[in-house]
Amino acid sequence: MREINKNLFKKVKLDDVAEKAGVSKTTVSRVLNNRGYISVKTREKVHEAMELLNYQPNEIARSLFINKTFIIGLIFPSTSNPFYGQLIFHLENISESLGYKVLLCNSQGREDKERDYLRMLQRHQVDGIIAGAHNRGIEEYNNSRLPLVAIDRYLSESIPVVSSDNYDGGKKATELLLKKGCKHIIHINGSPELETPANLRRKAYEDVMEKNLLTPCTYVNEDNAIETIFDENPHVDGIFASDDLIASDVMREAKKRNISIPDELKVVGYDGAEITRRLVPELSTIQQPVKEIAELAIKLLVSQINGENISKNEWNLPVKLMEGKTT
Amino acid sequence: MREINKNLFKKVKLDDVAEKAGVSKTTVSRVLNNRGYISVKTREKVHEAMELLNYQPNEIARSLFINKTFIIGLIFPSTSNPFYGQLIFHLENISESLGYKVLLCNSQGREDKERDYLRMLQRHQVDGIIAGAHNRGIEEYNNSRLPLVAIDRYLSESIPVVSSDNYDGGKKATELLLKKGCKHIIHINGSPELETPANLRRKAYEDVMEKNLLTPCTYVNEDNAIETIFDENPHVDGIFASDDLIASDVMREAKKRNISIPDELKVVGYDGAEITRRLVPELSTIQQPVKEIAELAIKLLVSQINGENISKNEWNLPVKLMEGKTT
DNA sequence: TTGTAAGCGTTATCAT
DNA sequence: ATGATAACGCTTACAA
């Protein structure tokens, strides 16, 4: 009895199909991959046998032989973030349409985790990696001979980076606040030590401010940054936050302090993810072309996988100002 | 020259390490897996060689032999949704801590995609699947001998389901509205044809209403449902939405119609995902224990992978009422 | 303590 | 048009 069960549970393989169809496993493989000449009669027999046994090819064995897994590794801080969640959704989607699967890695912004994931993905023989995590200084990115694409992060000189046009986004945001009459505009951004293209949002803000003979003032988004801003700048009348979550926090704090938006304070965010737009549509924001970023990233990765050379290392995709009621 | 390059790019394998260390590949494998007896000297030699060559074991080859991939398949509608994004984050996290990797599949609520993914995961020899997608009627779930766990979906009689305590959640939500003085409470829910435990939210709502001698009234969340509700029910003073996104839409529509919340209308949602809480903290909601759901799902899956039997088929984890300013 | 050889489930080469 | 056989990189009996 146990013997029978054991056999029932055993996965069916090429040999089993071959036996059932009365041919060799080479023939079955040929039918499976549509290669070489096969007589119609044989093909039918084999297909029948496959149906009958509910045969599923073992991709692991195939991968080992052809030395390719059709798996792409994704390393991002967290699927829980609206922007990354949406980006990952599109990356997976497009991958799937091209026959690739994705292995998901949440690095949580931790360099050690990112390093471990990178090694894991290599051991798993992924065909390439798309990373939107953490900072450079992970030398493994250079050592690995793997096709790589970075999203909004500089990983190393030779790795292509796909971003929204951060400079233009920062410019659009700042100019909007100015146009609406703001005189004391403050910018909130991540740590300037992370060498990300997102720093260009800050750069643009500072350039625009100076061009208008105003003093730029950037706060790093750390504990209590928002309260500090209001405490230290009673006259602030415009805030450009480097992402929508922070912008939303700003709106909340303003409400708490009875500062009315947009009359006394105007706020602009960045990202414009689907979910944020739905939950906080009143927030003015600079929307990243998430789907286009995903498409380009995959395209650049697959090109590399196919051995093509990438002509350019930095790609900035156009952003869109979404004006709500906070400006 | 090309010959040299070709060799440089070739991945190093067990044989290379063995040659470098002057031992057999069996010995290297033993060092790698800490199996059997190895002299200290040999172990050192091998480790040196591995470092020198930057050797990374090929998990595909290993998987083929041991007939186990340490990969878990995740099938969910979309990472873009705050609740699923957070759930997937935890699922990945916990998997990682147990040595498993995750293959991500966004089914987009499409039965055909789900079916394809299921087959793909089988071909890729995943060790198990956690699915929170679509409906039953996918017979493949029964055919596959794969360990499976469902989250908030009935897949088939024999597949364990992990959910939040939907009945208690629906009860808590409705009772809150009643306690706050609502007389005309409406419920918005997904299609009743999807046989999900989330239907229990509706059931609880209806039970509580009837117990209080009120007529339950449930709208299916489809095009313009919210507008219809307001149009058809000018006296509505309480809405229990089956998720926070819908609840947020309700808040928006109420604002548009100058219906003040919570004075004239009270609103409760469901899910209480991190991001929703941050973006719309004023919304009262029933919070699901996302992390605990993920932990239990993984635990049940790994038990099955290890050949253990699952004692129970339905697991309802306790929810928490998060009262905001909308009630 | 270490090595030899077989085998995991495929695909590709070379016969026939 | 089809089949026998080697190979992909690893692990594990079994032998020495």
Q: Shortest CA distance to B321 belongs to which of B295, B271, B274, B285?
A: B285
| Judgement on whether residues A177 and A96 belong to the same structural domain of the protein | no
B88 touches chain A (CB under 8 A): yes
A276 touches chain B (CB under 8 A): yes
User: In this structure, what CATH number is given to the domain that contains residue A27?
Assistant: 1.10.260.40
Using CB atoms, which residue from B59, B81, B280 is nearest to A123? B59
pLDDT by residue (tens digit) across B21-68?
999 999 999 999 999 899 999 999 999 999 999 999 999 999 999 999
Checking if the pLDDT of A6 tops 60, the result is no
| Judgement on whether residues B48 and B36 belong to the same structural domain of the protein | yes
Using CB atoms, which residue from A59, A78, A93 is nearest to B106? A93
Structurally, chain B folds into a number of domains equal to 3
Phi, psi values for residue A314, rounded to 5°: -125, 130
How does the average pLDDT of chain A come out, rounded?
A: 92
Supply A114's token pair. 């990112």
Checking if the pLDDT of A13 tops 90, the result is yes
pLDDT by residue (tens digit) across B173-197?
999 999 999 999 999 998 777 778 8
Answer yes or no: is A66 CB < 7 A from strand C.
yes
pLDDT by residue (tens digit) across B193-221?
777 888 899 999 999 999 999 999 999 99
Checking if the pLDDT of B168 tops 50, the result is yes
Residue A2: the pLDDT is: 29
Using CB atoms, which residue from A60, A79, A273 is nearest to B89? A79
Residue B265: the pLDDT is: 98
Checking if the pLDDT of A4 tops 60, the result is no
Q: How confident is the model at residue B135 (pLDDT cuts 50, 70, 90)?
A: low
Assign 3-state DSSP to chain B and report helix, strand, coil percentages, each to 5: 45, 15, 40
Chain B positions in Cβ-Cβ contact with residue A145 (cut-off 8 Å): 9
Q: How confident is the model at residue A136 (pLDDT cuts 50, 70, 90)?
A: low
Last residue of a domain, which of B20, B47, B66?
A: B66
Q: How far is the CA of A42 from the C1' of D3 (A)?
A: 14
Last residue of a domain, which of B66, B87, B116?
A: B66
User: In this structure, what CATH number is given to the domain that contains residue A118?
Assistant: 3.40.50.2300
pLDDT by residue (tens digit) across B253-287?
999 999 999 999 999 999 999 999 999 999 999 99
| Judgement on whether residues A182 and A142 belong to the same structural domain of the protein | no
B98 touches chain A (CB under 8 A): no
DSSP-assigned letter for residue B153: S
Spatial distance between the Cα atoms of B85 and B226, rounded to a whole number of angstroms? 25
Show the domain range for B24. 6-66
| Judgement on whether residues A86 and A54 belong to the same structural domain of the protein | no
Cis ω for the linkage preceding A262 (within 30 of 0): yes
Using CB atoms, which residue from A63, A71, A89 is nearest to B80? A89
Chain B positions in Cβ-Cβ contact with residue A54 (cut-off 8 Å): 143
Residue B326 in any domain: the answer is no
| Judgement on whether residues B159 and B302 belong to the same structural domain of the protein | yes
Using CB atoms, which residue from B61, B86, B123 is nearest to A57? B123
Answer yes or no: is B62 CB < 7 A from strand D.
yes
The one-letter code for the residue type at A184 is: H
A93 touches chain B (CB under 8 A): yes
Spatial distance between the Cα atoms of A320 and A277, rounded to a whole number of angstroms? 13
Cis ω for the linkage preceding B262 (within 30 of 0): yes
Checking if the pLDDT of B5 tops 90, the result is no
Q: CB within 8 A of A275, min separation 6: which ones?
A: A82, A85, A86, B80, B81, B82, B245, B275
Chain B positions in Cβ-Cβ contact with residue A2 (cut-off 8 Å): none
Going from the C-alpha of B118 to that of each of A56, A62, A226, B103, B146, the distances in angstroms are: 11, 18, 46, 11, 10
Q: Residues A272, A244: contact at Cβ < 8 Å? A: yes
pLDDT by residue (tens digit) across B86-114?
999 999 999 999 999 999 999 998 989 99
Q: How many CB atoms lie within 10 A of CB B170?
A: 29
Task: For strands A320-322 and A314-317, give the pairing.
Answer: unpaired
Q: How far is the CA of B67 from the C1' of C1 (A)?
A: 28
Residue A3: the pLDDT is: 35
How does the average pLDDT of chain B come out, rounded?
A: 92
Residue B20: the pLDDT is: 92
Q: Shortest CA distance to B216 belongs to which of B207, B224, B225?
A: B207
Residue B322 in any domain: the answer is no
Spatial distance between the Cα atoms of A236 and B182, rounded to a whole number of angstroms? 41
A59 touches chain B (CB under 8 A): yes
| Judgement on whether residues B178 and B158 belong to the same structural domain of the protein | no
| Judgement on whether residues A116 and A157 belong to the same structural domain of the protein | yes
Residue A183 in any domain: the answer is yes
Residue B9: the pLDDT is: 65
Q: Shortest CA distance to A85 belongs to which of A235, A319, A219, A279?
A: A279
Spatial distance between the Cα atoms of A206 and A40, rounded to a whole number of angstroms? 71
Residue A112 in any domain: the answer is yes
Q: Shortest CA distance to B81 belongs to which of A274, A281, A292, A291?
A: A274
- D3 closest protein residue (CA to C1'): A24
| Judgement on whether residues B265 and B305 belong to the same structural domain of the protein | no
Checking if the pLDDT of A217 tops 90, the result is yes
Largest CA distance in chain B: 87
Which nucleotides in chain C lie less than 7 Å from some protein C-beta? 1-5, 7-13
pLDDT by residue (tens digit) across A247-305?
999 999 999 999 999 999 999 999 999 999 999 999 999 999 999 999 999 999 999 99
| Judgement on whether residues A301 and A158 belong to the same structural domain of the protein | yes
Spatial distance between the Cα atoms of A166 and B112, rounded to a whole number of angstroms? 38
Last residue of a domain, which of B44, B66, B88?
A: B66
A103 touches chain B (CB under 8 A): yes
Checking if the pLDDT of B133 tops 80, the result is no
Secondary structure, 3-state, chain A = CHHHHHHHHCCCCHHHHHHHHCCCHHHHHHHHHCCCCCCHHHHHHHHHHHHHHCCCCCHHHHHHHHCCCCEEEEEECCCCCHHHHHHHHHHHHHHHHCCCEEEEEECCCCHHHHHHHHHHHHHCCCCEEEECCCCCCCCHHHHCCCCEEEECCCCCCCCCEEEECHHHHHHHHHHHHHHCCCCCEEEEECCCCCCCCCHHHHHHHHHHHHHCCCCCCEEECCCCHHHHHHHHCCCCCEEEECCHHHHHHHHHHHHHCCCCCCCCCEEEEEECCHHHHHHCCCCEEEECCHHHHHHHHHHHHHHHHCCCCCCCCEEEECCEEECCCCC
Say how many residues make up chain B: 327
| Judgement on whether residues A130 and A21 belong to the same structural domain of the protein | no
Phi, psi values for residue B283, rounded to 5°: -75, 125
Residue A324 in any domain: the answer is no
Residue A196: the pLDDT is: 83
**Beta bridge partner(s), residue B219:** B188
Residue B107 in any domain: the answer is yes
B288 touches chain A (CB under 8 A): no
pLDDT by residue (tens digit) across A89-114?
999 999 999 999 999 999 998 989 99
Chain B contact probe: residue of A52, A56, A80 with most B CBs at under 10 A:
A80
Distance (Å) from the alpha carbon of B64 to chain A's nearest alpha carbon: 6
Q: Which helix (H) or strand (E) holds B186?
A: strand B185-189
Spatial distance between the Cα atoms of A263 and B92, rounded to a whole number of angstroms? 44
Q: Shortest CA distance to A171 belongs to which of A200, A146, A132?
A: A200
Spatial distance between the Cα atoms of B97 and A45, rounded to a whole number of angstroms? 46
| Judgement on whether residues B147 and B174 belong to the same structural domain of the protein | no
Checking if the pLDDT of A149 tops 50, the result is yes
In this prediction, residues A211-225 reach a mean pLDDT of 94
Supply A256's token pair. 């708490």
Residue A108: the pLDDT is: 94
Chain B contact probe: residue of A14, A96, A104 with most B CBs at under 10 A:
A104
Answer yes or no: is B66 CB < 7 A from strand D.
yes
In this prediction, residues A43-48 reach a mean pLDDT of 94
Checking if the pLDDT of B317 tops 70, the result is yes
Checking if the pLDDT of A199 tops 50, the result is yes
In this prediction, residues B138-148 reach a mean pLDDT of 78
Residue B324 in any domain: the answer is no
Residue B327 in any domain: the answer is no
| Judgement on whether residues B179 and B284 belong to the same structural domain of the protein | yes
Residue A274: the pLDDT is: 98
pTM of the model: 0.95
The one-letter code for the residue type at B64 is: L
Question: Taking CA atoms, what residue in A is nearest to B283?
Answer: A279
